Amino acid sequence: MLNLFFYNLFFYNLYSFCIFLEINHKQVLMGKRLTLKDIAKEFNVSIATVSKAIQDKHDISSDLKKKILAYALENNYVPNQNALKLRGKQTKTIGVVIPSILNLFFAKVFAGIEKVASEHGYNLITCISNDSLDKEKIAIDMMVNGEVDGIIISVAKETQIKKDYKHFFKAMNTGVKLTMFDRVTDDVDCDKVIVDDFQGAYNATEYFVKTGCSNIALLSFISETSVGQYRIQGYKEALENNHITINKNLIIEVKEHDVDETETLLTLTLGSRKVDAILCLEETSAAIALDTIKRLGYKIPEDISIIAFTNGIITKYTTPKITTVSQHGVFMGEQSMTYLLNRLQGNHSQKEKEFTTKVIKTSLIQRQTTKKLS
Amino acid sequence: MLNLFFYNLFFYNLYSFCIFLEINHKQVLMGKRLTLKDIAKEFNVSIATVSKAIQDKHDISSDLKKKILAYALENNYVPNQNALKLRGKQTKTIGVVIPSILNLFFAKVFAGIEKVASEHGYNLITCISNDSLDKEKIAIDMMVNGEVDGIIISVAKETQIKKDYKHFFKAMNTGVKLTMFDRVTDDVDCDKVIVDDFQGAYNATEYFVKTGCSNIALLSFISETSVGQYRIQGYKEALENNHITINKNLIIEVKEHDVDETETLLTLTLGSRKVDAILCLEETSAAIALDTIKRLGYKIPEDISIIAFTNGIITKYTTPKITTVSQHGVFMGEQSMTYLLNRLQGNHSQKEKEFTTKVIKTSLIQRQTTKKLS
DNA sequence: CTGAAAGCGCTTACAG
DNA sequence: CTGAAAGCGCTTACAG
């Protein structure tokens, strides 16, 4: 009753909150949470009864139930999640492992995952691998045991380079469901959601050709990743199919986001060869290219056209605005989470071991760095 | 032994992984994880013994210990986190609640939090409130019981408007430590990490004055938030202290990110009054303002100077590049997590109930939308 | 050196 | 309608 009194004060008057704190000093400072046991003691009933009352089961006298429910509500009883998880099979938690969160594409995917997850009452445990194999391993190991029901991952660059996928096998072996997105690998058999990077690059390259370009360069920071490879393939194949010889000198690969290096290589290339279009494999390289090209005095898109991968935020605010290949990041996140959910809930139409690879089509968002189709 | 045999195959040969799956079919599909009990059965010893062996305690015969350790390693034993959490006091997990992840500032803070957390072996449970009070409440309630040791939060817009902070009190009452960053409230007593928004706006405004501007407008999407209020105050006070009358017509407040509305209001204002500088409270409004101003034919910074809050990614890639007030997002995240860590580990120098508010100084990053100081 | 027992907080058959 | 018991997976005094 005393508790109840203070509870009311507490909710209607901030000042009394302090009094509350004073009175219950030890309890509050100890971080003691209300448990079924505490409630059972309060009402002189068994823990089982309290549990059932709180679950609003029918076989409890409605009188007792009401009292217990009211008390639990007032004292803000929340079941201990760990106890719940320990008993049940489901943790209602998903692990998310992404290379970076500062990259808007990954942030978008994350937002999509989070949206669907929270709609279904799932929590997210997040780890940023920073493209490091070690960090990815540690994260997965932590998540694997009892922490999560499933993991959504975009594989770290280092992992892809070293082709070391043991941690994924281990994880799947413990029964955790795995879904990969964007940066995936054929060596691991699981559900995957990828962007049609090949087709995206193919279409962009072909768009250049159709608008009269034939000396098409490619600028990339991410040649080591699976994604980068697919895009380069798409670029090459589009050239071939349009009877344009692939010129290795027009493929500019820079490691990491080295602005100076990019500018230097680009300036060199533009100075020594004819270039009338550049396909940039990421937003930032496109922004840097745009800046360099403007400084060198070329007209865009008349002299040089530009298309950038990833429809992020930069391309919308440059002058001129950059034409982009949109990867539909948020949608990818939603799809990844939906696939995982289906897998977890076993309502996958396919048989247990048949995994799906969902390919999301890119779309070309035409802005001001490309010529119009005639 | 059979297991061991397959284990070896599995690790050295991908193809055998499938065989492994076949053989252990039921076990793998059931998601059965190896427990102490399983190991105990394997060696015909007690669970307690296995537990101690795995913890490498001294009072176990080194022979047995070696065998158990080897077996555990081979079969990739990982302790069930939920059991651990249920026993112990610490969950080694932190809850992070942020309004958005698509906003680079929050993404930066998140990256900072994640960095420090992972350095200290902490996991992150993440929820995006989407500026909704309800979602914030749900998230906090979920996290509070046994899920996390502490919560780092930037308060949702709606929460700040409605001034409904009960869920925070409830959380703190259960013993969970709370740290707020950026969007905070005086009504909740906890550790806080904020940016000196007042001073940031003050300095930016004064910089305008010093470079010869006197008709200084303000453009804001976030007037409802605490952060927005502080910035507006800083702007006003700088004007007053420099003997410039505050002109309400020069304060343009737009709800949400409404591009059209922003352009319209800005065009109207520029058409009807003299304006030689604009302080934009966020990156996007600055980018829109820049675009509008350029289109109207003004020279930047000669006719109109611009300073934007948040040193994100857009401002670096516009033409001209926008001068910004940097909030040091990553640093804020690191600081928030460090404060929480200190609080959790009780090695705070202060007494339990004395909370600190850390104020991070902004810095003005001069680029091309402001005149040089003479 | 090894193990039985208690307990973290919960739920769910099963008795009564 | 209520409760005793078992169990989820673990650790830690405490015996032996």
- Residue extent(s) of CATH 3.40.50.2300 domains in chain A: 91-194+329-358, 197-328
* Closest residue to A145, CB basis, from B81, B124, B187: B81
pLDDT at A218: 97
**A312-316, A353-357, B241-245, range with the lowest pLDDT:** A353-357
| Distance, CA of A62 to CA of A300 (rounded, Å) | 76
Of the candidates B111, B290, B314, which has its C-beta nearest A128's C-beta?
Answer: B111
- Whether residues A144 and B78 touch (CB distance < 8 A) is answered with yes
Q: How far apart are the C-alpha atoms of B322 and B320, rounded to whole Å?
A: 6
Continuous H helices in chain A: 2-12, 14-23, 25-30, 36-43, 47-54, 62-74, 81-87, 104-119, 133-144, 157-162, 166-173, 197-210, 226-241, 259-272, 283-295, 314-317, 329-344
pLDDT digits (tens, 9 = 90+) for A236-270: 999 999 999 999 999 999 987 788 899 999 999 99
CB proximity A59–strand D (7 Å threshold): yes
Predicted local distance difference test score (pLDDT) of residue B191: 95
Q: Which DSSP helix (H) or strand (E) runs through B324?
A: strand B323-326
Which of A's residues 164-203 have CB atoms within 7 A of nucleic strand D?
Answer: none
Kindly report, as residue ranges, where domains of CATH 3.40.50.2300 are found in chain B.
91-193+330-355, 197-328
- Each residue's pLDDT tens digit, A279-313: 999 999 999 999 999 999 999 999 999 999 988 88
Contacting residues of A for B93, CB less than 8 Å apart: 125
The CATH architecture to which A91-194+329-358 belongs is 3-Layer(aba) Sandwich (3.40)
| Residue A305 C-alpha, separation from nearest chain B C-alpha, in angstroms | 18
What per-residue confidence (pLDDT) applies to A13? 30
Q: Which residues 335-374 of chain A have a CB within 8 Å of chain B?
A: 352-353
Tell me the shortest Cα–Cα distance from B282 to chain A, in angstroms.
Answer: 14
B86 — contact with chain A (CB < 8 Å)? Answer: yes
Residue A324 banded pLDDT, cuts 50, 70, 90? very high
Query: pTM for this one?
Result: 0.83
Domain B197-328, CATH: 3.40.50.2300
Structural tokens at position B279: 């302080």
Q: Which residues of chain B have pLDDT under 70?
A: 1-32, 89, 347-353
Counting Cα atoms < 13 Å in the Cβ hemisphere of B311 gives 17
Residue of B nearest to A93 (CA): B125
B91-193+330-355, CATH topology level:
Rossmann fold (3.40.50)
Q: What per-residue confidence (pLDDT) applies to A20?
A: 34
pLDDT in tens, A115-136: 999 998 898 999 999 999 999 9
- Gap between the Cα atoms of A89 and A96, Å rounded: 19
Give A325-352 pLDDT, tens digit per residue. 999 999 999 999 999 998 887 754 445 5
Look-up of token digits 């089982």: A48
Question: What is the CA A38 to C1' D10 distance in angstroms?
Answer: 23
Q: What would the CATH number be for the domain defined by B2-85?
A: 1.10.260.40
Å: A46 CA to D4 C1': 9
Mutate to test the interface with A, among B16, B78, B151, B345 (most CBs of A within 10 A): B78
